[in-house]
Chain A
């Protein structure tokens, strides 16, 4: 029984790893304007609202970015744990969520109220940064 459980666990972990997208390359054309990049998160002093952000992330983002935010390769979705993503300002992440990048499959989430988008930004900051060393072949 333990052998079977271990096999299922390894299979699940292996499948999950295969689905991640460590080779994600950002779209160089997808750049937030400076005034948007400089916007501060109005919920920065309310870390308690990140729980709502997590719920919104599960509803709206997991399909492409995965439950751990590492991005699904088949969706060409960003690995949100990468330093290159985490180093972006709150304003940039908010702008990207608001506008989307339809030609690369990222929809606009402007239908969510503004504060809910900031909640998601808050939650994104809680994702653990990945080991950003290149993946072994």
Chain B
């Protein structure tokens, strides 16, 4: 009982004031890392609209992101998938880290990204697209048994000009479970807030609480199947985020396929909640418990 109260106190006590201006991108990464000591909990969904011979699917995932230092953010993903007329399956987890090598803001700010993935072939969150396109036609029973242990690296280049954020990611992925060579992909986006000035009033629907933009993402082939854009999925997706409270934001992005690969449309939405000062409160709680 005492521990339950302590955990509840920790959670409630940790809920501080949140950071505004979350990036509206869902696939593309910009150069802004999580602030040190802050914890962000995010839930997202990718819904795949089917072509003929495909089924509608919903692929939810949860991200727990923590600012380890001012230049290092670490994030854990847990994901699943449910397909109409088929089944719902757990599709694995991922652990990603982003490092910012340069201290100051520059015209172009590089961020290095390293991720380990333990997923199976049924994964359809499509947080990035590498190689060709995910298999969205085979039944989950066939896909779930094929496990993937993968290492993924990204070079994130991002900058801000006249309040526009412009970000590009070059992605490479290596499957350690089987020989697929190196697979490549890209993501590119630009966005900006809808208002340059903040009003003095407390408001939810003010323009300053919205960011909007567009992102493009897709596969670039692999060393085994050849480098290129022809046989891979590519999407263009408007993105919008709305900061609904001091520490919460909602994201929405309807992506439209530019090629005949994969799903013709990916509808994504999510909710982010940031707990400021989580690290110091967590430390304090444990220090106080002795």
Enumerate chain A interface residues (CB-CB to B < 8 A): 48-49, 51-56, 58-60, 62-63, 74-75, 98-108, 110-116, 119
Residue from the list B20, B70, B160, B280 in contact with A59, Cβ < 8 A:
B20
Chain B residues contacting A54 (CB-CB under 8 Å) are 200
**Closest residue of chain A to B19, judged by CB?**
A60
Q: Give chain B interface residues in 268-290, CB to chain A under 8 Å.
A: 276-277, 280
B32 and A111 within 8 A (CB): yes
In the bound complex, CA of A89 to CA of B259 (Å): 53
Chain B residues contacting A63 (CB-CB under 8 Å) are 16-17, 276-277
B200 and A52 within 8 A (CB): yes
In the bound complex, CA of A47 to CA of B71 (Å): 35
Contact bitstring B195-218, A, C-beta under 8 A = 1, else 0? 111111010000010000000000
Most A CB contacts (10 A, CB to CB) among B35, B163, B208 go to: B35
Residue from the list A55, A74, A101, A106 in contact with B198, Cβ < 8 A:
A55
A52 and B21 within 8 A (CB): no
Most B CB contacts (10 A, CB to CB) among A53, A59, A60, A113 go to: A113
5 shortest interchain CB distances as A-B pairs:
A102-B70, A51-B200, A52-B198, A113-B163, A115-B196
Give the interface SS of chain B, mostly helix, strand, loop or mixed.
Answer: loop
With A59-B17, A59-B20, A62-B17 known as contacts, the answer to whether A110 contacts B197 (CB < 8 A) is no
Give the interface SS of chain A, mostly helix, strand, loop or mixed.
Answer: helix
Residue from the list B16, B196, B202 in contact with A55, Cβ < 8 A:
B202
In the bound complex, CA of A105 to CA of B277 (Å): 12
Assess whether B69 is interfacial by the CB under 8 Å rule.
Answer: yes
Q: Give chain B interface residues in 93-122, CB to chain A under 8 Å.
A: 100, 103-105
A55 and B200 within 8 A (CB): yes
Chain B residues contacting A110 (CB-CB under 8 Å) are 32, 105, 160
A107 and B198 within 8 A (CB): no
Assess whether B246 is interfacial by the CB under 8 Å rule.
Answer: yes
In the bound complex, CA of A86 to CA of B41 (Å): 36
